[in-house]
């Protein structure tokens, strides 16, 4: 059975920087830079331009990852696309991104299967478990895994929505998961979910329990109230569960491999809230130099946070072959996951 390793990393963030002060001065949100930083650690985020969708952001990150791996799209056997902000209700963003590569127009057309993963902030780790399993089974040699989000199109960027809208930004990260006979790559992954808290962090705009799922006015136009249009979050409950589940998941993968957290060379947390990550780091006794952060610059890009971190760390020379790497995330659902990789 082959091992599955990450052969390439890539990322893309839109050029437009929106600072905390911009939220106040440009968007009229009654908040402050100090208030946001104190509670989240976020100083700025990126917003994509109007007309740019999630698949397009993923496409840019995917091209970067393929170049990093020394591969072309024709080498890819499967696309896994993780997002909570798909371009459409359906079809998934994976096929939209596949179309951008023009695989049907290659000299030898290749109709690469595309799978969308909808596990929000833990979507990349659910996707990584899926991609690694595909490779280890022998079903695929190279899987292109993308985490991409365009949050800015669905944020209530007003004083009413400030507790949620100040958290999120746009961006995409990607990795190529490849087969190898070398003793490296994925060592252990674990995933979990607790649907009892599904509505504590959710966006109900597509509630198909209703008929029609969007109320219509007398002219047949849809009417969506703010509580359904925009994301809602029970912040305290999310914080409590995130801390608990992330620590447990990390201990689980370490225990399986007979190591402790201090044996990890680099740890990549999902970038939801700096305070959550710092609390988990403190509980595990990990030094700052082993923990990567970029939430201050990009905010929460949900499924994209970990692959963006990986790509930046590799480009900066901090992430090197032979390192023992852990990744851990928690998000809506509630869902969570962790993975241990020998880079």
As annotated, the active-site residues are 121, 270, 300
Q: Which residue has the tokens 């996707």?
A: 127
User: How far apart (Å, rounded) are the C-alpha atoms in residues 170 and 158?
Assistant: 18
Return the beta strands (E) in the chain as ranges.
3-12, 17-19, 44-46, 78-82, 114-117, 142-149, 171-180, 185-193, 201-202, 215-216, 222-223, 232-233, 266-269, 291-292, 324-331, 335-342
Length of the chain: 343
User: How far apart (Å, rounded) are the C-alpha atoms in residues 303 and 179?
Assistant: 23
CA dist 26 → 30, 52, 65, 187 (Å): 11, 21, 34, 47
- Residue 194 DSSP SS3: coil
Q: Distance between the two ends of the chain, CA-based, in angstroms?
A: 18
Half-sphere exposure of 270 (CA within 13 A, CB side): 34
């Amino acid at each position: 059975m082959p091992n599955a390793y990450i052969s390439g990393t890539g990322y893309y963030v839109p050029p437009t920087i929106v600072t905390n002060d911009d939220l106040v001065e440009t968007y009229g949100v009654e908040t402050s830079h100090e208030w946001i930083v104190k509670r989240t650690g976020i100083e700025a985020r990126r917003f994509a331009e109007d007309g740019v969708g999630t698949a397009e952001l993923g496409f840019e990150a995917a091209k970067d990852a393929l170049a990093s791996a020394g591969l072309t799209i024709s080498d890819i056997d499967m696309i896994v696309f993780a997002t909570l902000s798909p371009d459409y209700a359906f079809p998934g963003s994976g096929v939209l991104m596949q179309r951008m590569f023009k695989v049907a127009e290659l000299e030898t057309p290749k109709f690469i299967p595309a799978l969308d993963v909808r596990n929000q902030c833990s979507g990349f780790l659910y996707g990584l478990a899926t991609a690694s399993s595909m490779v280890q089974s022998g079903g695929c040699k190279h899987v292109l895994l993308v985490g991409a989000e365009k949050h800015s199109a669905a944020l209530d960027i007003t004083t009413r929505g400030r507790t949620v809208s100040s958290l999120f930004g746009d961006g995409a990260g990607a990795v190529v998961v490849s087969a190898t006979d070398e003793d490296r790559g994925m060592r252990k992954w674990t995933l979990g979910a607790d649907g009892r808290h599904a509505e504590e962090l959710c966006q109900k705009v597509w509630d198909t329990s209703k008929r029609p799922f969007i109320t219509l006015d007398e002219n047949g136009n849809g009417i969506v109230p703010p509580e359904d249009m925009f994301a809602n979050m029970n912040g305290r409950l999310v914080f409590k569960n995130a801390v608990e589940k992330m620590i447990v998941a990390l201990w689980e993968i370490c225990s399986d491999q007979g190591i402790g957290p201090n044996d990890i060379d680099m740890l990549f947390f999902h970038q939801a809230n700096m305070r959550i990550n710092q609390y988990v780091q403190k509980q595990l006794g990990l030094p700052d130099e082993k923990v990567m952060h970029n939430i201050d610059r990009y905010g929460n890009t949900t499924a994209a946070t970990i692959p963006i971190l990986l790509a930046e760390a590799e480009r900066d020379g901090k992430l090197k072959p032979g390192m023992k790497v852990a990744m851990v995330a928690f998000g809506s659902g509630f869902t969570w996951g962790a993975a241990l990789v020998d880079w």
